[in-house]
Structure 1
């Protein structure tokens, strides 16, 4: 039994005659009759009673046709699914990002992507970089942005942004008049900082130590957005990148270059050994353009 035999049988059932089925299938009537005879011989029971040049379905044929219809409906679903994937690709983009880029680059990229692909849902999780790495590596997310301190084994990665740290201070702070902030300027100031294991925090600690300055850290956090909020609330001075400060109310926070320069690097990461869908490629293009 092959698909063509079943297709011809189904067309005879729908049209009622071999001649009409032949016409609809653009084949000859003898070809229809031969196909039905071959199908009957293969399945082991008659499909039609030939009465006065008419084909009357047997009870067995009616039962068989029920399953044939179900299989054709399944094929229709497959065709619909294929068309949907062709036109829209994978229906969801799953992304994880470190906090420092979640309020500037990522929203901008998502906005641009959604303008071109409004039917594609984007899922965004803001996580610590090592969690971004682990979830991308396990295939839970399609793409991620993480600090370069992560373990890059088992993932595809490329350089995304090189960040330079800026000194963030509450508006009208006494240091706002400086064009450049140096470690000595922060002697005795309250600082909101990243947790000690953060790579940028380690660089800043070395800078203070080399300058002989002991900062007074009053709050530690893992998120750049939290540092921005704490600085805006007047809790203290912090260090963020320009991208982390994107979208902030500039009336509440002032950014100044910090010398000597310290910074970090973020990576764009993807699961290892997995092909990218067309829409994932488009989304990554938006991320790269939004930097």
Structure 2
């Protein structure tokens, strides 16, 4: 049994006759009949019954064709993959991200990337920063976005964004009347905290300790978007940054800058000791553009409160960052 015999068998099955298969393969009809006979001899059973000069598939032939068809579909996929690798260096791309960017910047970047490469398959996973780092280091993902608490040993990295933190709270909260939130304002206030390993939380706690302020931590979560959701429900005040609040500000969430300034940092991670493909470079460019573009807002309110919130979240592109 050889590939040519299987190719002829596949052509007969999909075309319905030996003559059409011969036209499809650009060979003679006797060559088709000979290849089928050789294949039957090789596998030990009949693929067709000869009925009035026509080839009618036997039940065994139908069963065999199911597997042959699958193998040819696989070959077609391999050809497509080879063409993608030839043109772009890789046929697929895999990216993992921390939740805040995974719900905001990365989807925008994927939209931009697909405008340039609509046929490239993308795998996108949202995970905790430590998991993102492991996915990249183990070679499963080409690109990762992770917060600065991750161990950067053994992974190629660069700063993706650094930005100032703000406090979020529900509309009508007493602190919403303030233009800036200071440590003393948070003393004893129900507070939604980021996870203990979060570097921004550690920096925030250092500032609070220096001022002798102790918020009342009522919920702890690793996700900045969850901080926003809980704050909007009136659970307490939380610390986050603008990109994590996308979609929540439009629903009424109030955001105020915190002083003294506390900063978040996000790293772009790459697989170690590997040359970046063209696709990886293009996706990185899309991530940078999506970061700098920021959210597209519709019909913003011109009220004093909205103007104040807008002032607290609009910063230069290089300072956009969250958990």
Report what 2:112 is aligned to. Answer: 112
Unaligned runs of 5+ in 1: 1-13, 17-55, 68-72
Stretches of structure 2 that go unaligned for 5 or more consecutive residues are 1-25, 43-71, 292-323
- Structure 1 SS opposite 2:251: coil
Q: Which residue of 2 aligns with 1:123?
A: 123
Shift of 1:147: 1.3
Change (3 A) 1:249 1:181: closer
Aligned match of 1:159: 159
Partner of 2:201: 201
Superposed, 1:83-232 pairs within 5 Å as: 83-87=83-87, 90-232=90-232
Larger radius of gyration: 1
Distance 1:261 1:117, change over 3 A: same
TM-aligned CA distance change 1:157 to 1:15, over 3 Å:
same
Indicate if the aligned counterparts of 2:98 and 2:147 stay in contact, CA closer than 8 A.
yes
TM-score for both structures, normalised by structure 2: 0.64
Q: What displacement does 1:268 show?
A: 0.3
Conservation of the 8 A alpha-carbon contact between 1:102 and 1:244:
no
1:232 & 1:281 partners in 2: Cα distance? 38
Contact kept? 2:81, 2:91, Cα under 8 Å: no
Tell me the secondary structure at the aligned position of residue 185 of structure 2: helix
Residue by residue over 1:77-100, the C-alpha shift from the partner in whole angstroms, topping out at 9 and shown as x without a partner, is 676553343346533221111123
CA distance in 2, matches of 1:267, 1:203: 17
**2:164–2:263 CA contact under 8 A, matched in 1:** yes
- CA distance 1:63–1:80, change in 2 (3 Å): farther
Change (3 A) 1:115 1:222: same
Q: Which moved more, 1:159-168 or 1:243-252?
A: 243-252
Q: Are 1:267 and 2:267 matched, yes or no?
A: yes
Per-residue CA distance 1:157-188 (angstroms, 9 max, x = gap):
11100021111111121111211110111122
Q: Which moved more, 1:144-153 or 1:116-125?
A: 116-125
SS of the equivalent of 2:134 reads helix
Where 2:250 maps in the other structure, the secondary structure is coil
Cα distance, 1:129 vs structure 2 = 1.1
Conservation of the 8 A alpha-carbon contact between 1:104 and 1:245:
no
State the distance in 2 between where 1:86 and 1:113 align: 18
CA deviation after TM superposition for structure 1 residue 103, in Å: 2.2
Query: Contact between 1:104 and 1:247, CA under 8 Å: does it hold in 2?
Result: no
Match of 1:46 in 2: none
- Counterpart of 1:285? 285
TM-score (norm: length of structure 1): 0.71
**What's the Cα RMSD here?**
2.9
Q: Distance in 1 between matches of 2:111 and 2:247?
A: 14
CA shift digits 1:94-150 (9 cap, x unpaired): 111112322221121111112222222322222111111111000111100011222
**Alignment of 1:247 onto 2:238:** no
Conserved in 1, the CA contact under 8 Å of 2:88 and 2:277?
no
